[in-house]
A and B are shown apart, each in its own frame.
Chain A
């Protein structure tokens, strides 16, 4: 059974940094593209970032490009999202997800999410 468990969320002030982690199990982590998506409170879904399995190529939404960095540790089956220069509009539940199609097309397994609140 695929399991994705996010951690690292919390309350931070604007301009601060946070690193999210996603522990994966139940599938060949190193062979699958992985992504982070987010959902602001009461709002819809937004793709944030993806990492390709074959060459670790990374992809970012324009809203986070230059501020967020996705990475993974295949030896530990952990996906990361380093978030710098956080803004109020980054407040959301952050989900890690396993891709079923492409790098940023569709996802068949999602974690339960971790809440990030950016507020002074």
Chain B
């Protein structure tokens, strides 16, 4: 299976909202409600921001939200802050022993 498709980069100004897309197929994103989003700062471990498409783990800001339509999932960050600048990776369960990740999106807060 191919990796999920994410834009290589997105940018926004402090206070603005941005959306990162994650496109798969009916065999992964479209077929299961098991999309997750991870934030990774340089040199650090990934941090879970969203799981099960829309669920925020305890402690994650409500500025982060997830959604899905068909074969495309999205992560929206509202009220952008400088500390949001990081790489973001989506993942989706794809049945059996298959878990796909996106290639990652670099978010720049201008």
Contacts and interface: CB of A to CB of B under 8 A. Distances in A.
A100 B46 contact: no
B97 A105 contact: no
Contacts of B103: 44
A44 B102 contact: yes
Given A45-B38, A95-B45, A113-B45, A104 B104 contact: no
Contacts of B93: 102, 104-105
Contacts of B3: 44
B51 A101 contact: yes
- Majority SS of interface residues in chain A? strand
Nearest to A95: B45
Contacts of A108: 48, 51, 57
Contacts, number: 56
Interface string B40-57: 000011111001100001
Given A59-B97, A108-B57, A102 B46 contact: no
A69 to B, nearest CB: 15
Given A61-B97, A110-B46, A44 B51 contact: no
Interface centre among B36, B44, B91, B99 (most CB of A within 10 A): B99
Contacts of B91: 45, 47, 106
A111 B47 CA distance: 10
A73 B47 CA distance: 25
A101 B33 CA distance: 11
B64 interface: no
Contacts of A104: 93, 97, 99
Given A45-B46, A95-B46, A106 B36 contact: yes
B97 A100 contact: no
B51 A47 contact: no
Interface in B34-80: 34, 36, 38, 44-48, 51-52, 57
8 shortest A-B CB distances, which residue pairs? A110-B45, A106-B36, A106-B51, A47-B99, A45-B101, A108-B48, A104-B99, A44-B104
Interface of A: 44-47, 59-62, 95, 100-102, 104-108, 110-113
